[in-house]
Amino acid sequence: MKYELPKLNYAYNALESYIDAQTMEIHYTKHHQAYINNLNAVLEANPAIADKPLEELMKELAGLAISEADKTKLKNNGGGHLNHSLFWELMDPANSKNETLIEEINQTFGSVEEFKKLFNQTAAGHFGSGWTWLARDEAGKLQVYSLPNQDSPYLKNHTPIIGLDIWEHAYYLKYQNRRVEYIENWWKVVKIVG
């Protein structure tokens, strides 16, 4: 299967002034596209696994009958594609809410405010590139944590729900070293709990 950029449901400038149009365009057309190109190349080299859903490949990565080098490429670029696809989908200038998830967040973390505080601290405290996640573990429980690079929660058999890209490419043009400001502003363009 050949992967392609998913459709973006809004214009590059739709998330201004929290996420600037230039960052959106470069992030979507260059960074995400590069993960897709590299993902397609590693799948082309390994046709036996090419038609399996990407989420399954992440869950089964360690046991796949492919070279260690290709496992690394698949983890980085398959993760890159899954993570960014969710990221574009999560952001929405309309800022619509998911009441069911909000109720679950309230039950697990006390309140949406407490959840965001924990999430933001986790994101701000992550050293280097990576993502901060709200994910559902195998027991169905919500968890907040960061993972390095493009590691997907599916690698842990978890299902990602909310993911924040904290690579510098996601915010540096507008925020430079001010990661905390980027994290706080990001919630203003996130649907579900925004």
Choices 10-18, 42-50, 71-79, 162-170 (CB under 5 A): range interacting with Mn ion: 162-170
Q: How many residues bind Mn ion (CB under 5 A)?
A: 3
In whole angstroms, how close is the CB of 126 to Mn ion at the nearest point? 14
In whole angstroms, how close is the CB of 141 to Mn ion at the nearest point? 27
Contact 134, 161 (CB under 8 A): yes
**CA atoms of 187 and 38, how far apart (whole Å):** 30
Say whether 136 sits in a helix, a strand or coil: strand
**CA atoms of 24 and 168, how far apart (whole Å):** 13
Contact code string over 108-147 relative to Mn ion, x by CB under 5 A:
----------------------------------------
**CA atoms of 83 and 31, how far apart (whole Å):** 12
Residue 165 in the binding site for Mn ion (CB under 5 A): yes
Contact 78, 3 (CB under 8 A): no
The partner residues of 163 in beta bridges, in order of sequence, read: 133
Rg of the Cα trace of the chain? 17
Which DSSP category does 9 fall into?
S
Residue closer to Mn ion, measured from CB, 109 or 133: 133
In whole angstroms, how close is the CB of 31 to Mn ion at the nearest point? 5
Residue closer to Mn ion, measured from CB, 164 or 193: 164
In whole angstroms, how close is the CB of 150 to Mn ion at the nearest point? 8
Residue closer to Mn ion, measured from CB, 105 or 183: 183
Choices 2-10, 45-53, 122-130, 168-176 (CB under 5 A): range interacting with Mn ion: 168-176
Residue closer to Mn ion, measured from CB, 34 or 94: 34
Choices 48-56, 66-74, 128-136, 163-171 (CB under 5 A): range interacting with Mn ion: 163-171
**CA atoms of 190 and 186, how far apart (whole Å):** 7
Planar angle of CA 104, 106, 111, nearest 5 degrees: 155
> Taking Cα atoms as reference points, which of 122, 70, 103, 93 lies closest to residue 190?
93
Residue closer to Mn ion, measured from CB, 151 or 165: 165
Residues that bind Mn ion (CB under 5 A): 165, 167, 170
